[in-house]
Copies of this chain bind each other. A is one copy, B any other.
Amino acid sequence: MMRTRPLKVALLGCGVVGSEVVRIMTTHADDLAARIGAPVELAGIAVRRPGRVRAGVDPSLVTTDAAGLASRPDIDVVVEVIGGIEPARALITSAFEHGASVVTANKALLAEDGSTLHETAEKHGGDLFFEAAVAAAIPLVRPLRESLAGDKVNRVLGIVNGTTNFILDRMDSSGAGYSEALDEATALGYAEADPTADVEGFDAAAKAAILAGIAFHTRVRLDDVHREGLTDVTAADIASAKRMGCTVKLLAICERAADGRSVTARVHPAMIPLSHPLASVREAYNAVFVESDAAGQLMFYGPGAGGAPTASAVLGDLVAACRNKLNGARGPGESAYAQLPVSPMGEVVTRYHISLDVADKPGVLAQVATIFAEHGVSIDTVRQQGKDGDAWLVVVTHRAPDAALSATVEALRRLDTVRGVASIMRVEGE
């Protein structure tokens, strides 16, 4: 039954992920052939610096001419693991134009310009698969695009960045400050030399945009995602969370509004109760909750980064793209028919935990409570702490629009009796 002409694959990029793709394609060649229905051949590997290619990679396949490789008319599937916007975008576009399907792990590009890529794929009849772009090997893209295609997803809530989870986990377990935990993450290889994309939340925000897009059948771009990193999270915030029976996680949250007419997507640190399953996600692991009308609450958990796990996701997509090439079929394309508006952060309904440094004199609580009432924000609990003439008020609100909550905080800052706002953090997962 098996045809003899092999399917040809071009690999763009051969770093941590790419070299694992090569390894698996080589060692598991027979299994891949049996699962696809035809042998699959690595026809070329484009890299910037051929001298740096790892051992085990056939040097005769290596080229620096990525554009030439991506546009070869005999290539069936192009695997893009370069990352970043350019030249990845131009190479993927060229691959589609020359008749190939594309498997990519490029979250930044998908969040920036996914719709254009989907349109190009559609126009030329190719597949665009990207399971590896979100949470590495944890199946999320395929379950959202296919398994839940008959359901209505209302919420996606998860830890989708391993670096920041490692940092927060260390801060929680050792009481370390942010800088110290980041240094440890860097030393252990969990954080890159320039950690900006992770710690400022750009990486998680790109994943949130991709997840929101497929969950809500709506185009969501990186710019639509409210983003706060964890560089301002202090040891005091973590200690505050502990006193509340919570821990702090950097969460990606995509929600359909209660009336169903709009959606939101955001990434920020938040307190979650220790009883929530996400609270026990340690080190660099990822976990994502998906809530939908019929299926209820599903959770997906696993390693969210790393060469081998990301390569596993790439290979799964590669098998699917090859099967489709062989059968003249196409996988699901972009589904953005719902076109729901993406609301700004101010309209997100959430809860705040606010820690205030206040003057220790009568009437302060009344003043503070009045500010909350004036902004229509209802208080859940207040805890007063006095220490050496100073006093602290720790307030946890009920659910309210983020705009009202942040306006409340601004008004509190202007009160004479409030010396400072020591900590503000949203509370989620309840």
Q: Which residues in A have some Cβ–Cβ distance to B below 8 Å?
A: 20, 24, 28, 31-32, 34-35, 131, 136-139, 142-143, 146-152, 217, 277, 280, 292-303, 306, 308-309, 311-320, 323-324, 327-330, 332, 335, 337-338
Contacts and interface: CB of A to CB of B under 8 A. Distances in A.
A146 B34 contact: no
Given A152-B28, A308-B294, A142 B131 contact: no
Contacts of A337: 34-35
Given A139-B298, A295-B302, A301-B298, A312 B151 contact: yes
Nearest to A135: B298
B146 A143 contact: no
A320 B149 contact: yes
Nearest to A151: B312
B150 A24 contact: yes
A139 B300 CA distance: 9
A150 B298 contact: no
Given A301-B299, A330-B329, A337-B34, A319 B24 contact: no
Contact of A315 (B32, B150, B317): B150
B20 A294 contact: yes
13 contacts: A24-B151, A24-B294, A34-B335, A35-B337, A137-B294, A139-B139, A139-B143, A142-B142, A142-B147, A146-B316, A150-B315, A294-B309, A298-B300
Contacts of A143: 139, 142-143
A137 B299 CA distance: 11
A288 to B, nearest CB: 11
A335 B35 contact: yes
B150 A312 contact: yes
Contacts of A327: 329-330
B316 A296 contact: no
A131 B150 CA distance: 12
A128 B178 CA distance: 52
Given A31-B152, A146-B320, A152-B28, A296 B308 contact: yes
Contacts of A300: 298-301
A211 to B, nearest CB: 15
Contact of A329 (B28, B136, B298, B329): B329
Query: Which 4 pairs between the two chains have the least Cβ-Cβ distance?
Result: A150-B315, A329-B329, A137-B295, A294-B312
A148 B320 CA distance: 10
A345 to B, nearest CB: 27
Contact of A149 (B35, B147, B148): B35
A147 B313 contact: yes
A34 B295 contact: no
A398 B165 CA distance: 35
A247 to B, nearest CB: 16
Given A150-B32, A300-B300, A294 B315 contact: yes
B311 A294 contact: yes
Nearest to A32: B150
Contacts of A299: 299-302
A177 B337 CA distance: 53
A279 B327 CA distance: 44
B295 A303 contact: yes
Contacts of A294: 20, 24, 137, 308-309, 311-312, 315
Contacts of A131: 147
A160 to B, nearest CB: 15
Contacts of A329: 324, 327-330
Contacts of A311: 294
